[in-house]
Amino acid sequence: MAAEVSTQPLNLPFLATKQSTTGNTYIVTGANTGLGFEAAKHLVALGAKKVILAVRSLPAGFAAKQKIDTATGTTDIADVWALDLSSYDSVKSFARRAESELERLDAVIENAAVAIGSAELAEGHILPLTVNVLSTFLLAVLLLPKMRRDAEEFGILPRLVVVTSGVGFDMHEPWMGIREDPLVGIDGVDREKVMITYPVSKLMDTLSVRELATLLPVEKGKVVINAVCPGLCKTELIRNAPPALKESISQNHEQWGRTAEDGSRTLLAGAVLGKESHGCFLSSCEIREDKVPEWAKDEEAKKWQKHLWDLIVKELETVEPGCVQKALE
């Protein structure tokens, strides 16, 4: 991965414009810090009508809103809503609120994620699986019906952006070892290897986006669904990593890392790129399917991709019966 990040471009293009964002409504998860904060701030500055800062900690969310309001000279665009992705009930409550309170929804940027060095559980699964994958796609399927209706009512093309990572493609060997039952497999990772649950969860995100996009083409779902890799960025994501790993990543940050603001441009690209990005892996504000290794996209991969999605669907349907069917109908 070092060779990959050492060549990543900096000062990325700014694809989002006032023309593409003015009057729109956005949800950004994990918007109180890092990439999510910077993306939300840009959207407010670009003339969005409403930007929902979806955060686990309301005090942190209100602090972020104050910074955004000060930086952009606004007070009534950024809005703080509670969303705890470690709780299915919180996800369902958030989605119901979006249904009832938001007139329209132009894009959802699912940025929130966790990386941990301990075997912490939530909703019966290791935390990165619950937060990064299961709750991320629960929120997606709960919001897709509204996004489809809004597309038809307002003549817009909503985007569902799932923030993933190319580090998932370093997980070929671990993935091969758990792909027959990946949810059980990732939950059962040895304690000393628990940090790999983050990149494995990101591989699951990429594969799940690809499967969902296949099941819901734009012509049917009216929503562009894509996966964005922001690259190596200087954020707080590594705060829970073991000391040796944290030191190694910090050195990479200093040598090659993007600032959070630079990295946030990749999230905005996902929210403005068109139908051609549907189901694709985006990197450095471009469609970069060439970065997806053959083992993750060949016919054999598609079989296991579907298998993974079916297992996720089984979990989501237990949490909220009928939610996936409603999203896909």
Give the amino acid at 312.
Answer: I
**Which residue of the set 41, 50, 202, 234 is catalytic?**
202
Contact 77, 49 (CB under 8 A): yes
Distant-in-sequence, close-in-space partners of 203: CB < 8 Å, separation ≥ 6: 168, 169, 171, 175, 296
Phi and psi torsions of 225, nearest 5°: -120, 120
Which of 49, 198, 222, 234 is an active site residue?
198
Task: Verify whether residue 198 is a known catalytic residue.
Answer: yes
129 vs 55, 222, 321, CA distance in Å? 18, 28, 20
In sequence order, what DSSP letters do the residues of 142-201 get, joined into one string?
HHHHHHHHHHHHHT---EEEEE--GGGGG-HHHHHHHTTSHHHHHHT--GGGGGGHHHHH
Catalytic status, residue 202: yes
User: Do the Cβ atoms of 304 and 179 come closer than 8 Å?
Assistant: yes
Distance CA 132, CA 199 (A): 10
Give per-residue burial for 168-185: e unless 16+ CB within 10 Å, then b. Answer: bbbbeebbeebbeebbeb
CB-CB contact of 237 with 263 (8 Å): no
Q: Strand 286-287 to strand 281-283: parallel, antiparallel, or no bridges (unpaired)?
A: antiparallel
Cα–Cα distances in Å, from 272 out to 126, 175, 269, 312?
33, 32, 5, 27
Question: CA-CA distances (angstroms) from residue 69 to 51, 123, 302?
Answer: 12, 35, 45
Residues 6+ apart with CB under 8 A from 124: none
Residue 258 is classified by DSSP as B
Catalytic residues, by residue number, are: 198, 202
